[in-house]
Structures are given as structure tokens and as C-alpha cells.
A and B are shown apart, each in its own frame.
Chain A
């Protein structure tokens, strides 16, 4: 009986930890919700890359973006937090550090969620989580590339604050407050 309980708790824990935040929800008091969207133009030819990945018919793989984050005061290394599918707002969470400063190392895109078919867009910027709200809008990031090697042409951060706020308020009510992240270059 005890073993079974333990197994249930473990499975529940695993299920929660792999749950991606594709819909906004109230975070725990100690967590920040970082809102971001990644666009890639032209669209990745997933029909071609599917030849490289194992396909589970019940759960076809999707291209996903991740934030590589760490807190400078912590001894822990970087963590990858899932933004989720491209072209949609994602709501990854991160524990708020004591000094409320988080470093965004890079954005990583995994084609068809494969660990080898990835690319990494370096940032190295820090931002702080304001006291008044755990919701922080990082931006909408648009990558344009030229050829089959994904040679970058431009990488921009554009502002879709109003859309992000509208989606957030539609889910959590009109009292929700959202802040824009102010990026400063991070120097270790």
C-alpha cells in the first residue's frame, strides 16, 4: 500500500513537472511567470525534419521554444523552461530569486522537440521581477533566416504587450497586472 502511494505521488510529481504552461494560470507566491513568444520566418519545413525523429502517432512532435534562465546569486546552473509551440504566447515559470534578478542566457528552439535538431539564440541579458506583479512580458522574438543552414538574417524583439495583456486578462480577470521586462546586458 505504501509503495503504491509512493508510486502515485511520484507519477503525479513527474506529470506536473513536464506540464507545459500554454495557458496562463496564477503562479505560486514564489514564482514569476515569464511571457514570451517566438516566431521563425520562413516557417521550418517540419515535413522534412520528421524524417529525423521518432514519431508517436498519438502525440505527433511539435517544434518548441525554451528559455535558458538562471539566477546570478544561486549556485544552481541554468535551467531550460519551456515556452511551448512557436507563434503563441508561452507562460514558463521561474522561482523568484532573493534579489529578484533573472538572467536570460538564450532562447533555444528544438525542431520537432528533438534534442539534437536545435538552435540557440544567445542573449545574456538580465531583468528584474517587479514587486507588484509576478507576470513579466519578455517580448516577442522574431528570427529570420536565409538558407538551409538557418543562417540568421535578423533577430528582433518586438512589442506585443497589448496582445499578451489581453490574453492574460481573458484568462485571469481584469485586475491582473503585467510588466515589461527591461533588459540590461549581463556581465558575470
Chain B
């Protein structure tokens, strides 16, 4: 009896440990009451961490809404393909402005928070100007090879743009199952067709 309890506790601990390994943001989208493409924008792209230990997702990128005409909200992008960089933001109303406020990196038991602040619009900060799909590009935290300064400088590290390597297509393919039977499905499928040509 005792050993069973022990085994259960161990199983829970292992599950928690493994769970925290791949937890980088929400994965499953609730399509009930999902806003449609007529007055909302679906921003998607790739936010990763590329380093000597491989390619993983950027952990908990928090997007903050900055336009005072819209509600004050923070969203973490969905991860349709698990612990990879492919991600999309819950559809947001046209006119709202989003900025990557912070993200984090877990290494063992320590967590490093990267605070971006609220000043300046980076290319991966979507401003919802038109309804429909909005590709924010493919970005990863890593070493900037074009940096000219000292090799030891921390300034050489940051979020850098990745060369176009089919990221948009793979992001769309990853998120398509989540948007099945919604008004977004034909848009996503149409864009996939265009990119496959």
C-alpha cells in the first residue's frame, strides 16, 4: 500500500517535472465564441530560441495591448506544435496594438526574465491594421552574426530575424487543425495553397 502511494507521488513528480519542460504557453484553442476574420486579425509566426543546445520555443512571450482605445490585456501566444517556435495570438480586434513585453528562459532551476519594456515597435510587435491573417515573421533569441562590436558583449545577443525557410507555411500547417470548422479555416487553407505554389 505504502509503495503504491510512493509510486503515485513519484509519478506525479515526474509528470510535473516533464510538464514544466515543455510548458512554453497555451497549446489548445477554445473555438467557442472565437472572433471571426471580418473585424479581427490573426497574427502568427515563429518565436524561438536558437542556440548550441538546439531549437526550442521562446518561453512565455507575453504580448501587451498598448492602444488606450482597447482593453488593457496581456496574451501569451498559442503553441500549436508543442515546444517549437510556431505560434499564433488569439484573434484580436482591428485597431489594437500589441508589443512583446517580456519572455523568459529556464535553465535548470533558474529562470531569466527578459524585459522588453513598452517603448518602440519591433517587427514582431503586431499592430492589427487590417482584418484577416498577419504574418509577423520568424524570430529567435540567439547570437546576432551581423553584430560588429566586441564578441564578449551582451549586445550581440537578442531577438534576430531568421532567414525565410518556409516558416510561414509550417506555422499555418501547424495551426490549421486548431481552426478547423471556424471562419478562419478557408483563409488559412487559401494562404497554404498560395505558399505551396
Residues of A within 8 A of B (CB): 45, 47-52, 111, 115-120, 145, 147-152
Interface centre among A49, A52, A149 (most CB of B within 10 A): A149
Q: Say yes or no: A51-B119 contact (C-beta < 8 A), given A116-B102, A149-B99.
A: no
> Are A149 and B97 touching (Cβ within 8 A)?
yes
Q: Given B71, B72, B74, B120, which contacts A150 in the complex, CB threshold below 8 Å?
A: B120
Interface residue tally on B, bucketed by range: 10 to 19
> Are A119 and B68 touching (Cβ within 8 A)?
no
Question: A111 vs B97: C-alpha distance in the bound complex, in angstroms?
Answer: 18
Q: Is B121 an interface residue, CB under 8 A from the partner? A: yes
Pair count A-B, CB < 8 A: 50
> Are B68 and A151 touching (Cβ within 8 A)?
no
Q: Tell me which residues across on chain A come within 8 A of B64, comparing CB atoms.
A: 52
Closest to A114 in B: B118
What 7 A-B pairs are tightest by C-beta distance, nearest first?
A51-B72, A119-B119, A48-B68, A149-B121, A150-B119, A148-B66, A45-B68
> Are B115 and A116 touching (Cβ within 8 A)?
yes
- Measured CB to CB, the closest approach of chain A to B84, in angstroms, equals 26
Q: Say yes or no: A148-B97 contact (C-beta < 8 A), given A51-B71, A52-B72.
A: yes
Closest to A120 in B: B117
A sample of 5 inter-chain contacts (CB < 8 A) reads: A48-B68, A52-B72, A118-B118, A145-B119, A151-B119
Closest to B113 in A: A116
Q: Tell me which residues across on chain B come within 8 A of A145, comparing CB atoms.
A: 119
Q: Tell me which residues across on chain A come within 8 A of B74, comparing CB atoms.
A: 52
Given contacts A52-B74, A111-B118, A119-B119, 9 further A-B contacts (CB under 8 A): A47-B68, A52-B64, A52-B72, A116-B102, A119-B118, A120-B119, A149-B118, A151-B121, A152-B120
> Are A117 and B120 touching (Cβ within 8 A)?
no
- The dominant DSSP class at the A interface is mixed
Q: Say yes or no: A149-B71 contact (C-beta < 8 A), given A118-B117, A119-B118.
A: no
Contact with A along B60-88 (1 / 0, CB 8 A): 00001011100110100000000000000
Interface centre among B67, B72, B102, B117 (most CB of A within 10 A): B117
Q: Is B101 an interface residue, CB under 8 A from the partner? A: yes
Q: Tell me which residues across on chain B come within 8 A of A47, comparing CB atoms.
A: 68
Q: Tell me which residues across on chain B come within 8 A of A48, comparing CB atoms.
A: 68, 72
Question: A32 vs B90: C-alpha distance in the bound complex, in angstroms?
Answer: 51
> Are A149 and B119 touching (Cβ within 8 A)?
yes
Contact with A along B96-126 (1 / 0, CB 8 A): 0101011000000000000101111100010
> Are B67 and A148 touching (Cβ within 8 A)?
yes
Q: Tell me which residues across on chain B come within 8 A of A50, comparing CB atoms.
A: 72
Closest to A109 in B: B119
> Are A117 and B118 touching (Cβ within 8 A)?
yes
Closest to B68 in A: A48
- Measured CB to CB, the closest approach of chain A to B153, in angstroms, equals 10
